[in-house]
Amino acid sequence: MATDRTAVIGFPVDHSLSPIIHNHWIKELGLDIKPYEKINVDPNKFEEQINKLKAEGYGGLNVTVPLKELAFSISDETSSVSKKLRSVNTLSLNFEKIDGDNTDAVGFINSLDEKTIENNITNKKTLVLGAGGSARSLVYALNELGGHVRLFNRTLEKAQILLDDLSINSSPVGAEELDDYANSSSFIVNTTSLGQKAGEHNNILRFENIEMETFIYDLIYNPKRSSFLEQAEAKGLKVQNGLRMLIEQAACSFQIWHEIKVGVSEEIMSLLESV
């Protein structure tokens, strides 16, 4: 399916880096299509605005907060992962129907080295901090990779709901056992938004007794080194930010719309790191 007009929709969407990523590939491949745009879509007028964009010729839309659940609800057909997550980040507006997919989980998996999956996730204890939209994809992905996943969230009930929704046989980590569980985990990922704003410090975990082999991941990519990763790095732990995941999930959407597999080159990594 050729998709002439593509964009990311959100509310607000002004800070999205997706146009830089998609337009880099559109230019690199010399595709004869319109540049990828960013469009604010009011959640209260969601369906109406999607139909308007469809009529204007948009064929592919990435969907960001807070619209992913709405995108799921208006899709005529959804992928199995979208059904599981009840969330859509990639809409394909075809003539006769709307298809919804979710590339966040696979984007996260593709962002990991095989060695990290083998040494730190499969059959290992893993810990997810947060229970929002992205935590859902992460818990799903870690479980798919064979990790024993538990999660901690400021609002504990939300962690239990997430596990129940995904039918994952696990339990939330309470505040009193957080340090002990973290100290025996091989992979820890922060999916909270804490640390994204300037000067904001993520002190959810104490890093003193975290094992040296433990891999620390933060979904935040701006700042490049969040306070969470800074603390881990200061202890000499292996760390990764969310930039590669962002590009990998975009690559999956790009492939869905344009049927072209794009790679995550050093060029695009440094392009985004310099933003």
Binding to ligand NAP (CB under 6 A): which residues in 53-92?
65
> Would you call 125 a catalytic residue per the annotation?
no
Q: Which of 194, 216, 237, 239 binds ligand NAP (CB under 6 A)?
A: 194
Which residue type sits at 137? Answer: S
Report the side by side order of strands in the sheet with 215-218.
Answer: 148-152, 125-129, 187-190, 215-218, 238-240
With respect to ligand NAP, which residue has the nearer C-beta, 74 or 156? 156
To ligand NAP, the closest distance from the beta carbon of 134 in angstroms equals 3
Q: Measure the CA–CA gap between 187 and 179, rounded to whole angstroms.
A: 14
Binding to ligand NAP (CB under 6 A): which residues in 162-191?
191
Listed residue (81, 162, 149) closest to 120, CA to CA: 149
CA 215, 140, 191: angle at the middle one, nearest 5?
50
To ligand NAP, the closest distance from the beta carbon of 158 in angstroms equals 5
Does residue 203 interact with ligand NAP by CB under 6 A? Answer: no
With respect to ligand NAP, which residue has the nearer C-beta, 138 or 237? 138
Does residue 131 interact with ligand NAP by CB under 6 A? Answer: yes
> Looking at beta carbons, which pairs linking 93-97 to residues 24 or more positions away fall under 8 Å?
93/50, 93/53, 93/54, 93/58, 93/59, 93/60, 93/61, 94/1, 94/59
Q: Measure the CA–CA gap between 222 and 243, rounded to whole angstroms.
A: 8
With respect to ligand NAP, which residue has the nearer C-beta, 147 or 172? 172
- Interface size with ligand NAP, residues (CB under 6 A): 24
Q: Which of 51, 73, 123, 155 binds ligand NAP (CB under 6 A)?
A: 155
Interaction site with ligand NAP (CB under 6 A): 65, 104, 130-135, 153-155, 158, 191-194, 196, 219-221, 242, 245-246, 249
